[in-house]
């Protein structure tokens, strides 16, 4: 099934705080977009030095690159669970989650970046399998997640935009810092 035929979600199909994420997603086939993201994000991350990925932050209190990658995987799992439950007509209100607690408990900085990338790939491939399996009418089903009515396609667009948001931060705030000669050593470490 091509997601292109379902179109973009209306603002009533996703939570108000997700608008910025949804707005980042270009028009077109969402599944194809998510497949491209998988390749682009992996290509962006694989050359990053493992030690720097777990220690350098662009500002005190911000997450490391490893923590961002772990967060993307965790958030995608939650979005995919919401998609599955709502697509299957589960009307149980689904809770939100506290991202900072997840990041603090995940231990991403103690893992290798390669391992975190492999996990991200696995999670994304699972999400793609789920999305490809949905019937056209399932994309329009609505349920309550994080105290807001949301459609399956609204959550799927949020998922795509969430990653675009974090990749933009990596490109604008982290990778230029790591590429400047001598800057990586002076960058703020997380510990």
Q: Give all domains of the chain, ordered by start, each with its CATH number.
A: 14-189 (1.20.120.450)
Residue-wise pLDDT for 53-92, tens only, equals 999 999 999 999 999 999 999 999 999 999 999 999 999 9
Residue-wise pLDDT for 117-151, tens only, equals 999 999 999 999 999 999 999 999 999 999 999 99
pTM higher than 0.85 for the full model? yes
Q: Which of 180, 187, 169 is nearest to 65 (CA)?
A: 169
Which position has the token pair 């500002």?
A: 59
Residue 79, C-beta contacts closer than 8 angstroms, at least 6 positions apart: 127, 155, 156, 158, 159, 162
């Amino acid at each position: 099934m091509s997601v292109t035929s379902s179109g973009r979600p209306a603002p009533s199909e996703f939570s108000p705080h997700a608008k910025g994420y949804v707005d980042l997603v270009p028009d077109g086939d969402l599944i194809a977009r998510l497949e491209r993201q998988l390749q682009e994000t992996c290509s962006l991350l694989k050359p990053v030095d493992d030690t720097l990925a777990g220690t350098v932050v662009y500002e005190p209190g911000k997450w490391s690159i490893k923590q961002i990658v772990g967060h993307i995987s965790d958030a995608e799992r939650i979005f995919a669970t919401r998609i599955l439950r709502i697509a299957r007509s589960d009307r149980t209100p689904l809770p939100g989650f506290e991202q900072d607690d997840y990041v603090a408990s995940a231990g991403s900085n103690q893992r290798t970046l390669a391992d975190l990338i492999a996990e991200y790939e696995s999670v994304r491939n699972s999400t793609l399998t789920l999305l490809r399996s949905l019937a056209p009418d399932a994309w329009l089903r609505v349920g309550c997640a994080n105290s807001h009515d949301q459609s399956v396609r609204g959550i799927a667009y949020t998922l795509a935009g969430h990653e675009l948001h974090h990749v933009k931060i990596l490109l604008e705030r982290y990778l230029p810092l790591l590429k400047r000669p001598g800057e990586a050593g002076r960058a703020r470490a997380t510990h």
